[in-house]
Amino acid sequence: MRKTIKLFSWLASIALSGAVAPALAQTAAATAAATPAATAAATPAAPTVTVDGMVDAYYGYNFTYPAAFTTGKAGDFYNGVANSFTLGLAEAKLTATQGQASGHLVLADSNGTISGLASPGIDVLQGYVSYNPGQWTINAGRFVAWMGYEVIESTSNWNYSHSLLFGELPFWHDGVSVNYAPSTIFNATVYDTDTDWNSDTSTTWGKTWGLEVAITPNSMWGITLNGIMTPIGGVGTQSNMTGEAIITYKPSAWNFALDAQYGTNTIASGVTGPAPSLFGVALYGHYQIQSDWAAALRLEYLSDPKNDYTAPGGTVLYDNSLPAGDSFSATEVTLTIEHDFTTNLIARAEGRIDIANSGSSATDASDVFATGTSTGSSSNVTGTASMAFTF
């Protein structure tokens, strides 16, 4: 009898083991399958990093001031060296993206002058963090200015040289921006940056404020309204306010743009007379002749009645003998022919003439541009050949 009971107990144990083992195996498998997923969820994916940039080189000749290695071509900024093979601008851009957050770093080297940065040499032109939760984008750090139709990189402009208006605006800022883009038709951005243009942190004048409103009703039309207000000369003493309207029209092979700016300074305590002001307008036209050939024309006018913005020592590169306090105006015409060897390699040939006058006397009017002699000139004629590669 005992043997019979033992036999039945042994058979029951085998049956129970056979029934429980599959269930335990399924549980273990489910646990093993869930563990990597939980681990992956707890460990975010590594940021995605992209690298791009550009190299821009040129040969420039100044017919008004042809001496080799001289600088001072009006309004050119990054291609202002005459009779020399020169590096215009080299950039390396790194972008790291992780979900809604990203970091941006732009290293630049220019033989010209990126205002406020060491040159020549490698500078941090941009370095900022960005957070983009849906319709909002928040940037903090160093970023290029929102004002102006043209940008620093020549490959993103229709002309190779920069306009006079480009030099009357800041190039970069240290600060914070908040953008709201509820649709592809409308977006607005507010800016709060350090003192003065190009973030002059050596003073304690206060903060610069800015606003940009962009309206794009369709693929042909675009309207951008920009504004900037910055203190100058000390808190409560003076401030500069500049407003800008940019209109673009791109129907087909022809593309057009209009950039109009007006700036004014408040009058400092104890100063009499009208406030310094500046008005400028630039008209751009671009025609795509063939898939690899294009032509661009820029017509520009700049007026500075009190010569407060441009000289002496202003951002536009004129002869330093230009008298301060007198009226000043300039007209500029630039024609650029572009050929694309590849999608990334472009060559440009450009001719430009600047005509300007200043002051009430004939001597002042004829001494705006340096010639390398004791006699100045009221006009400046330049030619440039350039090649640029983007990657």
CA angle (174 as vertex; 172, 179 as ends), nearest 5 = 85
Same-domain status, 131 and 24: no
Same-domain status, 121 and 28: no
Assess whether pLDDT exceeds 50 at residue 25: no
**Which of 21-25, 229-233, 281-285 has the largest mean confidence?**
281-285
Same-domain status, 230 and 204: yes
Name the token pair of 229: 């207000």
Same-domain status, 377 and 236: yes
Residues 6+ apart with CB under 8 A from 240: 228, 229, 230, 231, 232, 263, 264, 265, 266
Assess whether pLDDT exceeds 60 at residue 50: yes
Same-domain status, 23 and 68: no
Express as a percent the part of the chain with pLDDT over 90.
Answer: 47
Name the token pair of 128: 């900022």
Whole-number pLDDT of residue 247: 98
Q: Phi first, then psi: what are they for 154, rounded to 5°?
A: -65, -30
Q: Phi first, then psi: what are they for 326, rounded to 5°?
A: -95, 165
Assess whether pLDDT exceeds 90 at residue 330: no
Assess whether pLDDT exceeds 70 at residue 131: yes
Average confidence score pLDDT of the chain: 80
Sign of CA dihedral 17, 19, 24, 26: positive
* CA nearest to 208, candidates 227, 230, 189: 230
Q: What is the CATH number of the domain that holds 187?
A: 2.40.160.10
Separation of alpha carbons 45 and 86, rounded Å: 43
Same-domain status, 26 and 131: no
Name the token pair of 349: 């040939």
The count of structural domains within the chain is: 2
Whole-number pLDDT of residue 268: 61
Same-domain status, 280 and 362: yes
Same-domain status, 136 and 259: yes
Higher-scoring residue by pLDDT: 296, 232: 296
Same-domain status, 232 and 291: yes
Same-domain status, 281 and 240: yes
Mean pLDDT across 186-196:
90
Same-domain status, 263 and 343: yes
Beta-sheet strands, E only, within the chain = 48-62, 84-98, 101-109, 122-131, 136-144, 172-180, 186-193, 208-215, 221-232, 238-249, 254-265, 277-290, 293-304, 328-340, 345-358, 379-390
Segment 65-94, tens digit of pLDDT: 877 666 655 556 777 777 888 888 899 999
Q: Which of 182-186, 201-205, 354-358 has the lowest mean pLDDT?
A: 201-205
Contact at 8 Å (CB) between 175 and 200?
A: no
**Given its phi and psi angles, is residue 37 left (phi above 0), alpha (psi -120 to 50 degrees) or beta?**
alpha
Assess whether pLDDT exceeds 70 at residue 201: no
**Given its phi and psi angles, is residue 250 left (phi above 0), alpha (psi -120 to 50 degrees) or beta?**
beta
Q: Which domain holds residue 12?
A: 1-43
The structure's pTM equals 0.81
Cα 375 to its chain centre, rounded Å, is: 37
Q: Phi first, then psi: what are they for 156, rounded to 5°?
A: -100, 0
**Which of 78-87, 107-116, 357-366 has the largest mean confidence?**
78-87
Same-domain status, 125 and 220: yes
Mean pLDDT across 12-33:
44
Whole-number pLDDT of residue 72: 53
Residue 12, SS3 per DSSP: helix
